[in-house]
Amino acid sequence: MKNFSTGAARALPLPVAPRTPALAALAVAAAAVFAAAPLQAAPDCRFRPNAPDQHLVVKGDTLWDISGAFLEHPWCWPQVWGMNRDEIRNPHWIYPGQVVYFDRVHGRLSLTKPGQPDPDAGLAPPIRLSPQLRTEDMGGNGAVPAIPAAMIEPFLTQPLVIEPNQLDAAPRIAATQDGKVYLGEGDRVYVRGDLRGAASFQIFRPGQPLRDPDTGKVVAHEAAYVGMARLVQPARPGVDVHTFVIERSVQEAGVGDRLLPAPPVPLRNYMPHAPQQAIKARVMAVPSEVNYAAQSQVVTVNRGTIDGLDVGSVLQLYHLGQTVADPGGKRGFLGLNPAKLRLPDEQYGNLFIFRVFGHVSYGLVMQVTAPVQVGDVAQSPE
């Protein structure tokens, strides 16, 4: 994490002020409901003892870093801003140059300096034109991201995890022009399957199955990203295949490779928060052959949307407690079979969930004091 100066303050996503008295009243009512029924039973959301009075947002900051400057637990950010569920899913961007203030009297963060009137209190003020707050920004344009974007970009724009039902219906490369075995950019391929109206596709090659550490069942497959293909000519009457051209390749394509529609440009303003419900997941895969992952690497866990995980959820990482011999315990018959001790699980870091599927999710490893291992527990903050 970056070091922070206490002389300036950083600013974060806030809801846009209501524009009419009626909407203002509705917003006040919604805030009351949120206060009465919080997002979840929040963990102990303490401010850091050395939290600055204010902080200036600078280029290169992340929302995680900014949160960590003020809070013991960065995922408590929604609680100290009073954000509701919709605002967590689609928070507004913040930009370098904005300032976040720590209101120590009320125990909250604000874009308004403590002691000054809050322009967003009560009825809405007149519409103010300002370059500071934008309502949305799909591409970023210099806005502060939640976590380092470069570290997760490939996992946002490439499939990499394919769930079983997707494999069954995915179109496949059935033949190649002139019978070529290996294909690259500019080559034509013939695809069989239902395109469902899409014209731009990613090419992938099914890989190793991902097995749930708890059940042993295959919940998804790893997929090797091959490249991009564009529809040239849909199948005509009497023709069984669609004609595609390979527009981009990172490795050679071939017969049997599958196609999935290219995903939309992802919205990157993720808000760190505790999961809406209790989650206990296990690490299924890590990006190395030795089954270890370090800080700022991506791992896969065996929980997804059907379990209540969403983008921005933060889980705590634990090594499973070992079972060791108890030297002072009772032994079995003839002194054999010494007594055993089950040690507690050890918490050693955090995992920021940034992409979710039905049964599987990707998480970025944050603030770890030990390597992540396949089989480790990732669960809701305590």
Predicted pLDDT at 125: 36
Q: Which residue has the tokens 């210099």?
A: 142
Q: Please say if the pLDDT value at position 77 is more than 60.
A: yes
List of domains in the chain: 1-147 (no CATH), 160-261 (no CATH), 280-379 (2.40.10.410)
Give the model's pLDDT for residue 365.
95
Residue 270: exposed, middle, or buried by beta-carbon count in 10 A (0-12, 13-18, 19+)?
Answer: buried
Lowest pLDDT segment from 95-99, 190-194, 310-314: 95-99
How many CB atoms lie under 10 A from the CB of residue 240? 9
Q: What is the pLDDT of residue 24?
A: 35
pLDDT of residue 332: 59
pLDDT tens-digit profile of 181-217?
888 899 999 999 999 999 999 998 877 888 888 888 8
Residue 12, pLDDT score: 41
On the question of pLDDT at 276 being above 50, the answer is yes
Looking at residue 210, what is its pLDDT?
87
- pLDDT mean across residues, the chain: 77
Q: Please name which of 368, 224, 378 lies closest in space to residue 300, comparing C-alpha atoms.
A: 378
Do β-strands 346-356 and 314-319 pair in parallel, antiparallel, or remain unpaired?
antiparallel
Which pLDDT belongs to residue 13? 41
Dihedral of alpha carbons 104, 108, 111, 114, sign: negative
User: What integer pLDDT is reported at residue 340 of this predicted model?
Assistant: 80
Reported as a pLDDT band with limits 50, 70 and 90, residue 141 is low
Q: Which helix (H) or strand (E) holds 231?
A: strand 218-233
- What is the pLDDT averaged over residues 231-258? 93
Q: What is the DSSP letter of 381?
A: -
How far is the C-alpha of 109 from the C-alpha of 81, rounded, in Å?
6
Q: Looking at residue 41, what is its pLDDT?
A: 41
Q: How much is the average pLDDT of 344-366?
A: 92
